[in-house]
Chain A
Amino acid sequence: MPVANSLVVVGAGQAAAQLVASLSQDGYAGEVTLIGDEPHLPYQRPPLSKKVLTGELTPDRLSVKPAAFYDKIGTRLRLDARVERIDRATKEVTLSDGSRIGFTTLVLATGSRARTLPLQGTGRTATFVLRSIADVAALRAQFAPGKALVVIGGGYIGLELAAVAVKQELEVTVLEQAPRVMARGVGPVVSRFYERLHHEEGVRLCMGSVVHGVEDGCVVCAGSEHRADLVLIGAGAVPNAELARESGLATENGIVVDAECRTSDPVIYAIGDCATQHHPLVGRRLRLESVHNALEQARIASASICGKPAPAAQVPWFWSDQYDVKLQMAGLSDGYDQAVVRGDPDRGRSFAVFYLRDGVLIAVDAVNRLPEFMMSKQLIAGRARIDPARLGDESIAVKDLKG
């Protein structure tokens, strides 16, 4: 007797929500169960460090889809439930309450979690990370004018939080281990701009700060101490790959997947922050933590599961909002050999940096430059060869850069 199809998704973030929506569109015939360890419907995380933190947006507005949607497409939700184990031989997952759910196809959309630091003693100083609705609620409850906030890590989360906090009149210090902020995501020109921006807005930035520990009311670094009522650790994210690894799937800073998002077991897929995949634009394996990647991998996995042709590959893109500055990044600047600046990063708050390799545009960082960002997405996808002098020449309109 043929076994009925049954698909289980572990994780309930944007990748998982997009996957079940795509499966429905792609005509998946079988039962679908989505298991998430938070008590919420799948929700959007990017606003947590932006408009949710400021209070402009309430968490109930973050749901990707309303509950009725999952009913309508026949997806069973198991929220506030944790998967403890994958048994690949019997094709079952075991939940923390002991119940088991069988699958014919399993999709791991387990995401990533905030990296914690081995800080010596935090005493009575409240220490936070920012990753979930619960995290932001806890943090917001502690926000009050005049409080000293120390942010450990000058990446996107740390700086977005610093921007909100300083506007709410907290005294904000950002400690970054590297010589520049956002070093993993943007080029040096953009880092320098953001250092100026935060300085102008009243945030204290300390580069090259190696944090030793937290004592009562104080963050201790090599050679300096910083008063702290609150500490936010913004030290990047770690892929939730343990379930996969313990079940014997290949992992290496994430769950290794092929072009169709299949793991080393052909009936198990992995998508989103937890997956690491060979990327044709950079020619190596890469784990991307972004909404765009989560959505795209969900669509690719759904197409593969349903036997449909894969959707066309898109150029990866990312964004960050800090103060009145919108940073939009497209492509991957890995191995660039030339950076061309358009506009003046040392004055004002609007410019773009184009990254080229062998004369081909491979990435852009656009600071309050929507046209440059939108145009670059198309040019990067087309692996366009562009005269660098034209890219940097503001007398040439952005739409005329093509061709």
Chain B
Amino acid sequence: MATITFEEPDGTLRKVDLAGGQSIMEGAVRASVAGIDADCGGACSCATCMVYVADEWCDRLPPKDAAETQMLEFCPHVQENSRLTCQIPVTDALDGLRVKVPPSQH
């Protein structure tokens, strides 16, 4: 279980409690966080679940694998601190994580 704060595209801050055993993307979609489209449902095929991770959290997340790195390279609006939420499992260690949703996933 982890409480994660999402800054939605319009600036709204959403604090969401996410249970373990799912990805951040799955939890965010279930909680209807705005701007997490996740069109492929977590198959790492669409790169529409991208977020910007707060600086202090970047090194505390599990590292990107090759597929995530490659997908991110071609994401619109990508930044140094971008991650795909479908590739990050929710764990207790993520409690307090803050992320910002990009203006658009396309």
Given A47-B41, A291-B41, A317-B46, A374 and B74 touching (CB < 8 A)?
A: yes
Asked if B43 and A374 make an inter-chain contact with CB atoms under 8 angstroms apart, the answer reads: no
Residues on B with beta carbons closer than 8 Å to the beta carbon of A66: 30
Task: Please report which residues of chain B, range 30-80, place their CB below 8 angstroms from some CB of chain A when the two chains form the complex.
Answer: 30, 32, 34, 37, 39-41, 43-47, 67, 70-71, 73-75
C-alpha spacing A195/B78, complex, angstroms:
37
Residues on B with beta carbons closer than 8 Å to the beta carbon of A21: 32
Name the contact of A319 in the complex, choosing from B26, B29, B40, B74 (C-beta under 8 A): B40
C-alpha spacing A328/B34, complex, angstroms:
26
Given A374-B74, A399-B73, A292 and B39 touching (CB < 8 A)?
A: yes
Asked if A374 and B41 make an inter-chain contact with CB atoms under 8 angstroms apart, the answer reads: no
Residues on A with beta carbons closer than 8 Å to the beta carbon of B34: 25
Interface residues on B, range: 20 to 34
Residues on A with beta carbons closer than 8 Å to the beta carbon of B37: 295
Given A46-B41, A370-B67, A371-B70, A69 and B30 touching (CB < 8 A)?
A: yes
Residue A113 CB within 8 A of the other chain: no
Task: Please report which residues of chain A, range 177-236, place their CB below 8 angstroms from some CB of chain B when the two chains form the complex.
Answer: none
Interface residues on A, range: 20 to 34
Residue A91 CB within 8 A of the other chain: no
Task: Please report which residues of chain A, range 25-46, place their CB below 8 angstroms from some CB of chain B when the two chains form the complex.
Answer: 25, 44, 46
Instruction: Output the nearest chain B residue to A44 by Cβ-Cβ distance.
Output: B41
Name the contact of B39 in the complex, choosing from A25, A295, A374 (C-beta under 8 A): A295
C-alpha spacing A21/B34, complex, angstroms:
11
Task: Please report which residues of chain A, range 77-131, place their CB below 8 angstroms from some CB of chain B when the two chains form the complex.
Answer: none
Residues on A with beta carbons closer than 8 Å to the beta carbon of B44: 326, 370
C-alpha spacing A351/B32, complex, angstroms:
36
A273 to chain B, nearest CB (A): 16
- A sample of 12 more A-B contacts (CB under 8 A), given A47-B41, A370-B44, is A44-B41, A65-B32, A69-B32, A291-B41, A292-B39, A312-B106, A321-B43, A326-B45, A328-B45, A371-B70, A377-B74, A399-B73
Shortest Cβ-Cβ A-B pairs, 10 listed: A374-B74, A370-B70, A319-B45, A44-B41, A371-B70, A66-B30, A370-B71, A295-B39, A328-B45, A375-B74
